[in-house]
Amino acid sequence: MPHETHTVKTSPSQINEEGLPVHIGIIMDGNGRWAKKRGLVRTQGHLEGLKTAKKIVKAASDLGVKYLTLYAFSTENWTRAKEEVGFIMSLIRQFLHSELDFSRQDQIRTRFAGDLSGLPPDIQKEIIGSITDTADFKGMQVVLAINYGGRDEILRAVKKFYSQNAGKSLNDLNEGDITAFLDNPDIPDPDLIIRSAGDCRISNFLLWESAYSELFISDRLWPDWDKADLLNAISDFQKRERRFGGIKTKKTASAPSEHDEKNY
């Protein structure tokens, strides 16, 4: 797993459009540390992190990435100080409420992952409104993972499956059954998962979907990220040889079909 400690200049011309990751997931980490380094309150770091998220969404859309999942708020983040949680929720509300013109201009469609019922009613309303308003947009799809946890998603999927298939034996349950009841079963698994701020862990993010995702860890704190960092991550991804537990393949961006040979 690469551990980037500095930004290497990568130009868009160095990116192979045919080898773009179809789906990128980002663990946006380091907002609090960014603020602390500057003697600022943690909430200022979250504000700068939101600005960075907008820049990266635009950059990914311009490059032609089809799906981008942003880990905005985890099921574990509720344990943070009440004031910090409230500020993050206000930023999410602000982002959803004010970005329709931007989404319309770039045809960016909003999707959601997480337990919607566990969010404040006003946040639920903004999320549903954004999903509805952008439902017909044909550009990149941005999945906002809010009140999201990978374990929770799997548990919810199993519960939803059995609520609709009460008579099915546990012995007959298969991967496809669970996949079909995940939050976004129509979206392909992430090809690349990026984490800012240096920690080498997945932090309960897309646990089911990331079985064969490539990982890219950057020491740069999330508010410091810009398009160059995204280009570097994609450039590194395009140098990888992805075998998905089996034979060599020249395909870089997408996972093999269920009929491809595998050797786990």
Known catalytic residues?
Answer: 29, 77
Q: How far apart are CA 217 and CA 176, in angstroms?
A: 30
| Residue 191 CB neighbour total at 10 angstroms | 27
Across the chain, the runs of DSSP E, i.e. the strands, are: 3-4, 23-27, 67-74, 109-113, 141-148, 192-195, 214-218
Long-range Cβ pairs for the range 152-161 (8 Å, 24+)? 152/75, 152/114, 152/115, 153/113, 153/114, 153/182, 153/183, 153/207, 153/208, 154/178, 154/182, 154/207, 154/208, 156/115, 156/181, 156/183, 157/181, 157/182, 157/183, 157/208
Bridge partner list, 214 = 192
Q: How far apart are CA 86 and CA 71, in angstroms?
A: 17
